[in-house]
């Protein structure tokens, strides 16, 4: 008798549970999903010490992680390098994808950094770049500063 | 013992039920950085209508960031993003946009809304127009400068593409892209650096962005050169001319050329032509030399004829018949 009660109780709970689950499946949900891109740059600033004019500095790595969905491009633009001693053009900064052979000179106009568009993922699509500075021989001694803008653009 | 078994039998389906109805974690991955959404905006409007678009910005970094937002039309050529010069309010969504409100700074973990209103003018050209909304995030912390160093602040920027489809006043979107190439090539004779002329007429109802290349083959030296026809816009029912100067043209030569033009980047219209480059001074100098030689030969022959006539006359005088 007790067994019968337990079996009935078990069946009842399971059927009730399935009913709840089924009810949840038929629930209408309206969600306003908007695509978005997130860009994480590491590091947030780069410091090059003891630069010899006319000699390219050692490269430093910049990692850009783009998350979201869809294809994207990364662009780079730089301001001029300014110091108390004067200014130097944006082309002082040189960059390349780590897998690339040659460096490109930066400019005030944004340039594509990737040879082919990347694909943003939920986990983040990671791209690594080498950045270095190469001041002309005529550059005056001083502490130079510039702002480099890395832009993620959906395609 | 039996009671325990019974309890277990009772508990098992209960646990199963709890597992079935409990909410599951989707396993979301949290990425640091700054974000902007939506990535793509696609709106369809009638001329004279307005709409508002909200962009959401997020700062998921550990530091505060300064925020700048702006709209800009770009055209990409040779991997470079060039700002569109003198955009026309008839087709440029950038000129229709006003940023109504935007946060200037975002603290760590903070989210903000940027509201942009687009007022489409009455004379807006029917068609699909594109502009870019950008949010630039610059680290708010002052940079530390060191002696004899170069300090580069890295700013993050994210763009959203904004497509605005403008219909006719009745809300019908009937896009017609068509054109007619009026001229593509150059004259035959050139006494200086050749200039190529490209002229096209827009016969459709939407502005066209024409670009292309000119391939030149040097038939004497068997060399090829490619010139770029810079991108230019043509509004409907108008004709536009573009002139491209070949500054590195050889001193002299015979060439064949082919102009390839496109307004969609897929279909190319081709035109073939040929031309000669001869420097005018060289040509004039050569002609002068040739004329001088001919004159010299003529004069020499005349002189010889004169001398022959004199000799014959002298012989006739000495030996009369």
For A123, the domain range is 38-154
Q: Are residues A47 and A112 in the same domain?
A: yes
Residue B46 within a domain: yes
Both B89 and B55 in one domain: the answer is yes
Claim to verify: residue A2 and residue A55 sit in the same structural domain? no
Q: Indicate if A96 and A140 belong to the same structural domain.
A: yes
Mean pLDDT of chain A: 84
| Co-location of A21 and A50 in the same domain | no
In a domain, B6, yes or no: no
Q: What is the ipTM of this complex?
A: 0.78
Minimal Cα distance from A155: which residue of B? B161
Do residues A134 and A80 share a domain?
yes
- Model pLDDT, residue B209: 83
What number is the average pLDDT over the span A24-33? 54
> Residue B151 and residue A47: Cβ atoms within 8 Å?
yes
Half-sphere exposure of B134 (CA within 13 A, CB side): 22
B-chain residues near A148 (CB < 8 A) = 152-155
pLDDT one-digit tens code per residue, B33-70: 999 999 989 899 999 999 999 999 999 999 999 999 99
Same-domain status, A55 and A127? yes
Q: Does B15 touch chain A (CB under 8 A)?
A: no
Contact A117/B at CB under 8 A: no
Q: Verify that A42 and A83 share a domain, yes or no.
A: yes
Identify whether residues A50 and A18 lie together within a single domain: no
Provide the number of structural domains found in chain A: 2
Q: Is B131 part of a structural domain of the chain?
A: yes
Same domain, A20 and A77: no
Could you tell me if B254 and B183 lie in one domain? yes
Q: Are residues A13 and A42 in the same domain?
A: no
Q: Tell me what percent of the residues of chain A surpass a pLDDT of 90.
A: 61
Compare all CA atoms of chain A with the CA of B161 and give the residue at the minimum distance: A154
B114 shares a domain with B45: yes
pLDDT at A24: 43
Q: Which of B28, B31, B37 sits opposite A65 (nearest CB)?
A: B31
- What residues of B are in contact with residue A43 (Cβ under 8 Å)? 154
Q: Are residues B207 and B286 in the same domain?
A: no
B252 and B132 in one domain?
A: no
Q: What is the dihedral of CA B165, B167, B171, B176, to 10 degrees?
A: -120
Question: Residues A110, A137: one domain?
Answer: yes
Q: Which residue of B has its CA nearest to A110?
A: B81
Shared domain check, B296 and B253: no
Q: What is the CATH number of the domain that holds B75?
A: 2.60.40.10
Shared-domain flag, residues B217 and B250 = yes
Domain that holds residue B71: 31-142+151-166
Rg of chain B on CA atoms, in Å: 38
pLDDT at A34: 63
- Spans of chain B below 70 pLDDT: 1-31, 141-148, 320-321
Residues of A in contact with B3 (CB under 8 A): none
Q: Are residues B36 and B162 in the same domain?
A: yes
Q: Do A62 and A78 share a domain, yes or no? A: yes
Contact of B160 with chain A, judged by CB distance below 8 Å, is answered with: yes
CB B91 within 8 A of CB B129: yes
Mean pLDDT of A14-35: 51
Q: What is the pLDDT of residues A41-82, one digit of tens each?
A: 999 899 999 899 999 999 999 999 999 987 789 999 999 999
Residues B224 and B124 reside in one and the same domain: no
In Å, how far is A53's CA from the nearest CA of chain B?
11
**Three-state secondary structure of chain B:** CHHHHHHHHHHHHHHHHHHHHCCCCCCCCCCCCEEEECCEEEEEECCCCEEEEEEEEEECCCCCEEEEEEEECEEEECCEEEECCCCCCCCCHHHHEEEEECCCEECCCCEEEEEEEEECCCCCCCEEEEEEEEEEEEECCCCCCCCCEEEEEEEEEEEEEEEEEECCCCCCCCCCCCEEEEEEECCCEECCCCEEEEEEEECCCCCEEEEEEEEEEECCCCEEEEEEEEEEEECCCCEEEEEEECCCCCCCEEEEEEEEEECCCCCCEEEEEEEEECCHHHHHHHHHHHHHHHHHHHHHHHHHHHHHHHHHHHHHHHCCC
Q: How many angstroms separate the CA atoms of B321 and B318, rounded?
A: 10
C-beta separation of A111 from A77 below 8 A? yes
Least CA distance to B8: which residue of chain A? A6
Domains of chain B: total:
3
Based on the fold, state whether residues B189 and B135 are members of the same structural domain. Answer: no
Contact B146 A21 (CB under 8 A): no
Which CATH number covers residue A115? 2.60.40.1090
**Residue B171 within any structural domain of the chain:** no
> Residue B21: inside a domain, yes or no?
no
């Amino acid at each position: 008798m007790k067994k019968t009660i337990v079996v009935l109780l078990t069946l009842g709970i399971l059927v009730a549970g399935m009913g709840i689950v089924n009810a949840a499946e038929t629930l209408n949900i309206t969600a306003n999903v908007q695509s978005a891109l997130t860009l994480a740059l590491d590091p947030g600033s780069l410091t090059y010490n003891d630069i010899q004019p006319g000699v390219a500095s050692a490269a430093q790595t910049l990692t850009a992680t783009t998350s979201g969905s869809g294809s994207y491009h990364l662009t780079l633009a730089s301001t001029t390098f300014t110091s108390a001693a004067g200014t130097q053009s944006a082309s002082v900064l040189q960059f390349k994808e780590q897998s690339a052979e040659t460096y490109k000179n930066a400019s005030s106009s944004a340039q594509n950094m990737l040879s082919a568009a990347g694909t943003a993922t939920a986990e983040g699509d990671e791209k690594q770049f080498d950045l270095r500075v190469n001041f002309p021989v005529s550059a005056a001694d001083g502490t130079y500063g510039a702002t480099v803008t890395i832009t993620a653009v959906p395609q | 013992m039996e009671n325990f078994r019974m309890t277990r039998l009772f508990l098992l389906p209960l646990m199963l039920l709890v597992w079935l109805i409990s909410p599951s974690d989707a396993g979301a991955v949290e990425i640091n950085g700054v974000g902007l959404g939506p990535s793509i905006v696609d709106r369809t409007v009638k001329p004279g209508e307005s709409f508002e678009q909200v962009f959401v910005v997020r700062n998921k970094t550990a530091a505060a960031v300064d925020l700048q937002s702006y709209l800009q039309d770009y055209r990409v050529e040779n991997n470079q993003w060039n700002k569109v010069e003198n955009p026309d309010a008839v087709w440029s969504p950038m000129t229709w946009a006003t940023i109504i409100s935007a946060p200037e700074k975002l603290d760590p973990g903070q989210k903000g809304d940027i509201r942009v209103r687009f007022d489409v003018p009455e004379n807006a050209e029917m068609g699909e127009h594109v502009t870019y909304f950008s949010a630039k995030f610059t680290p708010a912390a002052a940079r530390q400068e060191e002696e004899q160093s170069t300090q580069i602040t890295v700013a993050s920027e994210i763009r959203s593409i904004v497509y605005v489809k403008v219909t006719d006043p009745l809300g019908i979107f009937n896009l017609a892209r068509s054109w007619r190439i009026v001229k593509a090539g150059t004259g035959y004779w050139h006494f200086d650096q050749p200039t190529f002329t490209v002229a096209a007429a827009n016969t459709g109802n939407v502005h066209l962005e024409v670009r292309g290349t000119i391939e030149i083959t040097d038939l004497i030296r068997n060399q090829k050169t490619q010139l770029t026809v810079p991108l230019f816009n043509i509004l409907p029912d108008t004709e536009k001319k573009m002139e491209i100067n070949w500054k590195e043209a050889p001193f002299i030569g015979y060439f064949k050329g082919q102009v390839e033009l496109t307004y969609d980047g897929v279909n190319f219209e081709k035109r073939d032509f040929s031309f000669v480059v001869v420097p005018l001074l060289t040509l004039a100098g050569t002609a002068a030399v040739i004329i001088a030689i001919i004159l010299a030969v003529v004069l020499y022959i005349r002189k010889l004829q004169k001398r022959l006539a004199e000799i014959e006359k002298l012989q006739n005088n000495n030996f009369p018949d």
